[in-house]
Amino acid sequence: MSDLSNKHIVLGLSGGIACYKAAELCRALVKAGATVQVVMTEAAGQFMTPVTMQALSNRTVYTSQWDARELNNMAHINLSREAHAIVVAPASADFMAKLLHGRADDLLSLMCLARPIERVPLIVAPAMNREMWTHPATQRNMAQLKADGVHVLDVGQGEQACGETGDGRMLEPEEILEDLVALFQPKVLAGQHVLVTAGPTYEAMDPVRGITNLSSGKMGFAIARAAREAGAAVTLVAGPVLLPTPRGVHRVDVRSALDMQMAVAQNVDAASVFVATAAVADWRVADVAGQKIKKDDSGQLPQLAFVENPDILAEVSQSPRAQSGALYCVGFAAESHDLLNHATAKRARKGVPLLVGNIGPATFGLDDNALLLVDEQGSQALEHASKLTLARQLVAEIARRLKAS
């Protein structure tokens, strides 16, 4: 199933040039499996035509509280009762002020006011000029809306249509979508702080060459996203990968195993869960050359001595906090064969309660995977699925074990 299957979203547009992004957001919501009902203010119609939004949503757009299509003339009631969530994107400074004061002089604001607060969340994506965004009135309004239970998203930074540069741009459609998907995920890790390592490490031989592996980091990044969706604060220590940071996740970029060891040591004391997904290089070159190692046409190979890298997972799992149960540790094993035996042996060797195994060559760089969960009772297979789906299953399993303990 898609992330928003069986969800009905009311997408509201208030006035602003960012309405062009609402078209892409509507398309993304439909692609994610949602049905979308668009409601536009009169001002929004100056920037985007209802015809465009109708074509993208496959539904007639509502623009007036006096819409004669509603037999009871109560579009604000009918539309809000059908929704699983109302998303206002863009939300102008004026529209946010309306929400704050409970004003309802158009269909969109009336619908937001009339929605059943306990079951229909309201998400607003602000969009405005940088001076309007930083104005004390806007900041007060935003703070009060949050206090009232409205999900006020942050804003982007960059060039604005007026020619100025700064905060106030509406988030990109994919960012809003990610936040909306997260809203519907069970908050099984609320109150937890999860530390995740992801990707490979790179061990330099000289200034231009090094030793690494084929890990893409996608599984670790998916786990970081799933943990954040589940309500946890998340710190992601990432090796050298080219992946976007999941929304709401604090990212620390590292390069070598020693860098990763240091970053983990600096962040692990704040964590209650440690998931060591990274494929850390087992060895590094003892003496890194200061200049590129050149071939000399002698046919002789360069003489490289190796030393073993620190075992980050074992260090953490043997720490007093892990031993006392204050820190729950999960290890990963990427094997090429005989997965169950190797994963079972690694779990015992590392001293972790849960070890997650996979066949590395079958998943490196791909968006899907299959996992094997190994603990002291035995093993459990998570069948082949997208890495995000598997990450959510793993997070739910970790939450279950934390609750049981």
Residues acting as catalytic residues: 162
Q: 189 exposed, middle or buried (CB, 10 Å; 0-12, 13-18, 19+)?
A: buried
Q: What angle do CA 372, 376, 378 make, to 5 degrees?
A: 45
Q: Using CA atoms, how far apart are residues 373 and 275, in angstroms rounded to an integer? A: 13
What is 137-155 written as a DSSP string? HHHHHHHHHHHTT-EE---
Element (H, E) at 176: helix 173-184
- Contact between residue 356 and residue 332 where contact means Cβ atoms under 8 Å apart: yes
Closest Cα partner for 199 from 124, 259, 153? 259
The structure tokens 């969800």 sit at: 7
Closest Cα partner for 221 from 244, 254, 191? 244
What is 307-376 written as a DSSP string? EEPP-HHHHHHTSHHHHHTSSEEEEEEEESS-HHHHHHHHHHHHT-SEEEEEEGGGTTT-SEEEEEEEET
Q: Using CA atoms, how far apart are residues 161 and 140, in angstroms rounded to an integer? A: 25
